[in-house]
Structure 1
Amino acid sequence: MTTQTLAETGQVKRAISLRSVLNNAGIGLALLALILFFSVFTEHFLTANNITNILTQITINLILAVGMTFVILIGGIDLSVGSVMAFAAVVAGKAITLPGFGPAEAIALAVVAATMTGVLCGVFNGVISAYWALPSFIITLGMLNIARGAALQVSDAQTIYAFPIAFEEFGSAMIYGVPVVFIVALLLVLVAWFVLNYTVFGRLLYGIGNNEEAVRLAGHPVFWYKVAAFTICGFTAGIAAIVYMARLNISSPIAGIGFELNAIAAVIIGGTSLSGGRGSVIGTLLGAIIIGVLANGLILIGLSDFMRQMITGIVIVFAVILDHYRAKYTAK
């Protein structure tokens, strides 16, 4: 690689970094405006208990959205994460209630079972969509039904419960007023941020989203990078399943319905382009917080469930329109 090429690469990275900072600053201002609005119009919004509730409520969506960010960055989408989460939770529920294991062994077995279930579903999505160059929308829509049916079959359409006390305690534990489950989600965000910004793998995911053919001609195995992105998304669905089980102390085969839409919304509101190649996991974090703050604040104001859905939908549409103009701006 020549000195000129290295310089050009450095300029591109600096430009991407600057756009990311400006984009996240805009999202941060929007979040700040929401917080100020609800603080003025609701009495209990900025209380410690309510902030803890918001952090707890956004945890599962944030974990799913972290994995979704990897997929959307390569120009794909995963509609199956809600169903995969339910399937992973059911498999983990079966594992954690097996006789003959102590609490620690049962919990460890459940974590492995949930994450491996998510990983296998992610590998399936990635291999099928990448090998045959099929739209990930269709493949993951199929997996949505496969995983949901598998969850119902494995559980015999029954809720699984009676988990170890230590597992339930983990789901409700706090560190200095911050839910432990949210800290887990935050650690995933930090790991994802490092991978996307400071590894060759991460930079190539951006490259695939921008110009897949150029990455292929440069000699990189695009197929395996795509599979890896979907695998990461499946893995985070498995982690979300564990958090869901720990919080509610149950495994339900009908859990996670519609969760994929909230995860996609968090990613798009966070500034990641649906066409791929642009975005950041820090933006995804802010997007998930915006959705959580909006949902919580609208409840405190006293709006009906129907109105909350309408307003959330309007915010998502606005974010997509904003992404359209942002794409036109960055293309200049």
Structure 2
Amino acid sequence: MTIQTGDEVAQASGNFSIRTVLHNAGIGLALLALILFFSIFTEHFLTANNITNILTQVTINLILAVGMTFVILIGGIDLSVGSVMAFASVIAGKAITLAGLGPFEAIVLAVIAATAVGVVCGAINGTITARWSLPSFIITLGMLNIARGAALQASNAQTIYSFPLAFEDFGSAMFYGVPVVFMVALALVFIAWFILNFTVFGRLLYGIGNNEEAVRLAGHSVYRYKIAAFTICGLTAGIAAVVYMARLNISSPIAGIGFELNAIAAVIIGGTSLNGGRGSVIGTLIGAFIIGVLANGLILIGLSDFMRQMITGVVIIIAVILDYYRAKYTRR
């Protein structure tokens, strides 16, 4: 059985087909249009400080969206990543404040604790979903409540702070004008891109999204691959927790509320199909930037929070409608 990646599927009918242009360039052109619009109508949009702000603001959503891409590619969804991120940050925060460690040891412990929490929660989501063939929407909705309740219980509904200064230094560090935390997110994008395009594991994820039964008949364990996809999503939630702690120098049990919706929006706007089997993490990167640029530009224009939410919602709905027509055109 030959399994194609999303890019290969898009190019199957010719190098210069309309489908190829729409798939590879459409969302990129949309991002460029947004940048051009806000550059014209806002005075400070293209300043160095604002570009740095956009990169920093995009970081957590991009990290979560990278993991979400793996789940949506197999036709699933994970509503728990925001709550898992909060739970992971609380556990990591309590670990480093109680241990009384030095700065380096505290950071290492935080990374281990947060990613471990994320991996366990993701693996539970994947195991239950795959073992009983249950809708991931319902299972991860349950995990959303479990993780949020666990975060509130573990922290006694209190914010944890007074982390080592090294955390704050990492969260605000710059490398030639680029936030280091954004470079972490970009590294995850590259790793995910390589996995999805150049490994058997990645191609089988596309295969599961396209035709799960065909992958099973080819002798592959769909069960294990589904668990792996959700585990990766949990892992990125743990990494996002560390970045959140570094940026704000706190752990909060109410962090990440609504973050799962932004991550899903970035993936869908980026061209990954909700039905699975088609999409790319590069599209997710662009989708995250579209959300980040839109939010930043609307603030600079002076729109209220309510108007920004409405406009962002409209963009998400348009992206889903476009996905419908893109899938319909592909079937032809």
Q: Same fold (TM over 0.5)?
A: yes
CA deviations 1:127-179 (Å, max 9, x no partner) are 00100000000000000000000000111111000001111100000001100
Is 2:204 aligned against 1:183? no
Question: What letter is aligned with 1:260?
Answer: E
* SS of equivalent to 1:279: coil
* Corresponding position of 1:77: 77
Partner of 2:15 in structure 1? none
Do 1:20 and 1:280's aligned partners in 2 also have CA atoms closer than 8 Å? no
Normalising by the residue count of structure 1, what TM-score does the alignment of the two structures yield?
0.95
- Which residue pairs with 1:318 in the alignment? 318
Instruction: Find the residue that maps to 1:163 and give its secondary structure.
Output: coil
What amino acid maps onto 1:156 in structure 2? N
Question: TM-score normalised to the size of structure 2?
Answer: 0.95
Shift of 1:17: 5.2
1:244 corresponds in structure 2 to: 244
Q: 2:99 aligns to what SS in structure 1?
A: coil
In structure 1, the partner of 2:32 is 32
Instruction: Kindly provide the CA deviation profile for residues 24-53 of structure 1, in whole angstroms up to 9, marking residues without a partner as x.
Output: 311110000000000000000000000000
In 2, Cα distance between the equivalents of 1:128 and 1:181?
33
1:20 and 1:279 in contact (8 A); partners too: no
Q: Percent identity?
A: 82
Contact 1:95 1:113 in 2 (8 A): yes
Q: Aligned pair count?
A: 326
Distance 1:284 1:131, change over 3 A: same
How many angstroms does 1:20 deviate by? 6.7
Letter in 2 for 1:264: I
Gaps of 5+ in 2: 13-18
Name the CA distance, whole Å, in 1 between partners of 2:330 and 2:158: 50
SS at match of 1:77: coil
Contact 1:87/1:253, CA 8 A, preserved across alignment: yes
* 1:124-163 equivalent positions in 2, closer than 5 A: 124-163=124-163
User: Are the aligned partners of 2:84 and 2:118 in contact in 1 as well (CA < 8 Å)?
Assistant: yes
CA contact (8 A) 2:64 2:240 kept: yes
Distance in 1 of aligned mates of 2:21 and 2:246 = 35
SS in 2 for 1:315: helix
In the TM superposition, what is the alpha-carbon distance from 1:106 to its structure 2 partner? 1.3
Rounded to whole Å, the distance in 1 between the matches of 2:6 and 2:280 is 16
Residue 199 of structure 1 corresponds to 199
Alignment of 1:3-82 (within 5 A): 14-16=8-10, 22-82=22-82
Aligned to 1:273: 273
Deviation, 1:13, is 7.1
Where does structure 1 lack aligned partners over 5 or more consecutive residues? Answer: none
Helix, strand or coil: the match of 1:116?
helix
| 1:198/1:322 CA distance change after superposition, 3 Å | same
Residues 149, 246 of structure 1: alpha-carbon distance in 2 compared, 3 angstrom cutoff:
same
> Take 1:184 and 1:102, find their aligned partners in 2: how far apart are those partners?
23
Deviation at 1:98, TM superposition (A): 2.1
Q: Cα gap change, 1:187/1:321 in structure 2, threshold over 3 Å: closer, same or farther?
A: same
Between the aligned partners of 1:11 and 1:81, the Cα distance in structure 2 is: 25
Instruction: Name the CA distance, whole Å, in 1 between partners of 2:43 and 2:303.
Output: 15
| 1:11–1:288 Cα change, 3 Å | closer
> Is the 8 Å Cα contact of residues 5 and 196 (structure 2) preserved in structure 1?
no
Partners of 2:227 and 2:183 lie apart in 1 by 28
Assess if the C-alpha contact under 8 Å between 2:6 and 2:279 holds in 1. no
Helix, strand or coil for the counterpart of 1:257?
A: coil
Deviating more after overlay: 97-106 vs 28-37: 97-106
1:22 offset after TM fit, Å?
A: 4.4
CA distance in 1, matches of 2:20, 2:193: 12
Cα RMSD of the aligned pairs, angstroms, is: 1.6
1:96 positional shift: 1.4
Tell me the alpha carbon deviations over residues 102-124 of structure 1, each in whole angstroms, 9 at most, x when there is no partner. Answer: 11111101100000000000000
The corresponding residue for 1:103 is 103
The residue number in structure 2 matching 1:116 is 116
Partners of 2:262 and 2:7 in 1: how far apart?
A: 30
> Counterpart of 1:255 in 2: which secondary structure?
coil
Displacement after TM superposition at 1:15 (Å): 3.6
2: CA distance between counterparts of 1:12 and 1:125? Answer: 25
Question: Which amino acid in 2 is paired with 1:243?
Answer: V
Structure 1 residue 21: Cα displacement: 6.8
Distance 1:123 1:21 in 2: 37
Asked whether the equivalents of residues 98 and 106 of structure 1 are also in contact (C-alpha less than 8 Å), the reply is no
| DSSP 3-state at the match of 2:72 | helix
Cα distance 1:84–1:104, how it changes in 2: closer, same or farther (>3 A)? same
Letter in 1 for 2:171: G
Distance 1:206 1:162, change over 3 A: same
Distance in 2 between residues matched to 1:228 and 1:205, nearest whole Å:
10
